[in-house]
């Protein structure tokens, strides 16, 4: 399985093409639109979300709500393009009129300056239009397809918010949920995707105060996945380690600056006897672990325990009280450009991170259980699970 995306933030469309999805997978527009709505329904978002109402269109690879086994092409229309069609025109040369929104004062922390230098763009809009997080719309769409595939073998994936600034969810509450669906019912109820009402109120207060100050705020998100077969990924080569692939996918999301599995950085303060997940066996479960400090991975492979991934999201670099910058034309000091933006991306980032984890898990499943048809893939997974239980 592989995919690619295309599209600019204020261009006409966001586009994705996915290859390697088996034929016969049930796939409906509603499956994807519901995930796109989750991405948009996030406390702290800006005015752009009042314009866009993202809905996907299948352009290829799906017929009568079933995948064909051929490449799947998807697009989402950018409604805001109608306000930018002259500025973002592809078939007319640059003029004084269509470069009115030219960007020449790069924002600290954004791709503006380095991207302009690398690609020799004298209008930094050519950088920010693609480096914008609007592109993650299609990653969420691809993730929705991946989640549909994973669901056919009993794998569930869910993301929520750990903290926004100093306001934190009470992670000790995780143990009270029987499964991820029960957890989902709680976190999706809160506008901040927090774990509890107290944390949700505190997070909203932080966001409101930050917005009033013309600032932005970051935080952390956590993604969990359950129902995975043992042995996805491999120890034999560094580039086959599944946790490494997930780490790369997470840090590849706009504004993500760190990732950990299980106990993560806290394990640096532990002793081995307090950290390793001891191994047990029962006739009903086969091999299992008595704990999950390592977050579902050993040697770059899934252990069968829940995957636990936590990631850090930096504050958005577009500030309504802009920071020191330099005009790239005159080289004179100037305040950075202001673009329409959010106060925080953390709430939406939980959905995007969830999508990226799902994509990497789906890739790993298809690497191990390669099949042209979804029924054959399910048969392979079932046979392998039976083999593992009797190991």
Q: What pLDDT was estimated at residue 377?
A: 98
User: Is 316 part of any known ligand binding site?
Assistant: yes
User: Is 93 part of any known ligand binding site?
Assistant: no
CA distance 168 to 166: 6
Q: What pLDDT was estimated at residue 80?
A: 87
User: Is 34 part of any known ligand binding site?
Assistant: no
User: Is 32 part of any known ligand binding site?
Assistant: no
User: Is 317 part of any known ligand binding site?
Assistant: yes
pTM reported for the whole predicted model: 0.95
**Each residue's pLDDT tens digit, 185-237:** 999 999 999 999 999 999 999 999 999 999 999 999 999 999 999 999 999 99
Q: Tell me, which fold does domain 2-389 have in CATH?
A: Chorismate synthase, AroC fold (3.60.150)
User: Is 255 part of any known ligand binding site?
Assistant: yes
User: Is 78 part of any known ligand binding site?
Assistant: no
User: Is 91 part of any known ligand binding site?
Assistant: no
Sequential pLDDT tens for the chain (391 residues): 999 999 999 989 999 999 999 999 999 999 999 999 999 999 987 765 666 789 999 999 999 999 999 999 999 999 888 888 888 889 888 887 777 789 999 999 999 999 999 999 999 999 999 999 999 999 999 999 999 999 999 999 999 999 999 999 999 999 999 999 999 999 999 999 999 999 999 999 999 999 999 999 999 999 999 999 999 999 999 999 999 999 999 999 999 999 999 999 999 999 999 999 999 999 989 999 999 999 999 999 999 999 999 999 999 998 888 899 999 999 999 999 888 778 999 999 999 999 999 999 999 999 999 889 999 999 999 999 999 998 9
Q: Which residue is it, tokens 């922390």?
A: 109
* Residue 280 DSSP one-character state: E
User: Is 257 part of any known ligand binding site?
Assistant: no
For residue 314, the SS3 value is coil
* Residue 26 DSSP one-character state: B
User: Is 306 part of any known ligand binding site?
Assistant: no
DSSP one-letter string for 281-299:
EETTTEEEES--TTTTEET
User: Is 322 part of any known ligand binding site?
Assistant: no
- Could you tell me the CA-to-CA distances from 231 to 240, 241, 297, 304 in Å, in that order? 12, 10, 9, 8
Hey, CA dihedral for 129, 132, 133, 135, is it positive or negative? Answer: positive
CA distance 3 to 21: 10
Provide the H-helix boundaries in the chain.
29-40, 48-51, 112-119, 125-131, 136-151, 180-187, 197-212, 242-251, 272-275, 346-368, 374-389
DSSP one-letter string for 126-174:
HHHHHHSGGGHHHHHHHHHHHHHHHHTTT-EEEEEEEEETTEE--GGGG
Are the beta carbons of 263 and 293 closer than 8 angstroms? yes
User: Is 45 part of any known ligand binding site?
Assistant: yes
Q: Which residue is it, tokens 């329409």?
A: 340
């Amino acid at each position: 399985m592989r995919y690619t995306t295309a599209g600019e933030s204020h261009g006409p469309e966001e586009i994705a093409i996915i290859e390697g999805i088996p034929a016969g997978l049930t796939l409906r527009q509603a499956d994807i639109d519901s995930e796109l709505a989750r991405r948009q329904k996030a406390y702290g978002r800006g005015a752009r979300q009042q314009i866009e109402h993202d809905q996907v269109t299948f352009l290829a690879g799906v017929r009568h709500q079933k995948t064909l086994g051929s490449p799947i092409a998807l697009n989402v229309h950018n409604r805001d393009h109608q306000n930018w069609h002259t500025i973002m025109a592809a078939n007319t040369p640059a003029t004084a009129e269509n470069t009115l929104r030219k960007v020449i004062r790069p924002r600290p922390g954004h791709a503006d300056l380095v991207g302009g230098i690398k690609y020799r763009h004298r209008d930094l809009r050519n950088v920010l239009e693609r480096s914008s997080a609007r592109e993650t719309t299609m990653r969420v769409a691809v993730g929705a397809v991946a989640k549909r595939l994973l669901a056919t073998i009993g794998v569930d994936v869910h993301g929520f918010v750990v903290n926004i600034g100093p306001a934190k969810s009470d992670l000790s509450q995780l143990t009270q949920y029987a499964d991820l669906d029960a957890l989902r019912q709680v976190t999706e109820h809160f506008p901040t995707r927090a774990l509890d009402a107290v944390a949700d109120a505190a997070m909203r207060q932080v966001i409101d105060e930050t917005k009033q100050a013309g600032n932005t705020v970051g935080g952390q998100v956590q993604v969990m996945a359950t129902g995975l077969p043992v042995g996805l990924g491999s120890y034999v080569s560094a580039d086959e380690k599944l946790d490494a692939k997930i780490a790369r996918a997470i840090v590849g999301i706009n504004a993500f600056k760190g990732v950990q599995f299980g106990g993560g950085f806290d394990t640096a303060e532990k002793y081995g006897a307090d950290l390793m997940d001891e191994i047990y066996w029962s006739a009903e479960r086969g091999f299992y672990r008595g704990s999950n400090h390592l977050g579902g991975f050993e040697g770059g492979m899934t252990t069968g325990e829940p995957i636990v991934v936590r990631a850090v999201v930096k504050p958005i670099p577009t500030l309504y009280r802009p920071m020191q910058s330099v005009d790239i034309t005159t080289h004179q000091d100037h305040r950075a450009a202001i673009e329409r933006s959010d106060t925080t991306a953390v709430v939406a980032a939980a959905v995007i991170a969830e999508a990226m984890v799902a994509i990497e898990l789906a890739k790993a499943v298809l690497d191990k259980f390669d099949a042209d048809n979804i029924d054959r893939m399910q048969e392979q997974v079932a046979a392998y699970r039976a083999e593992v239980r009797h190991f």
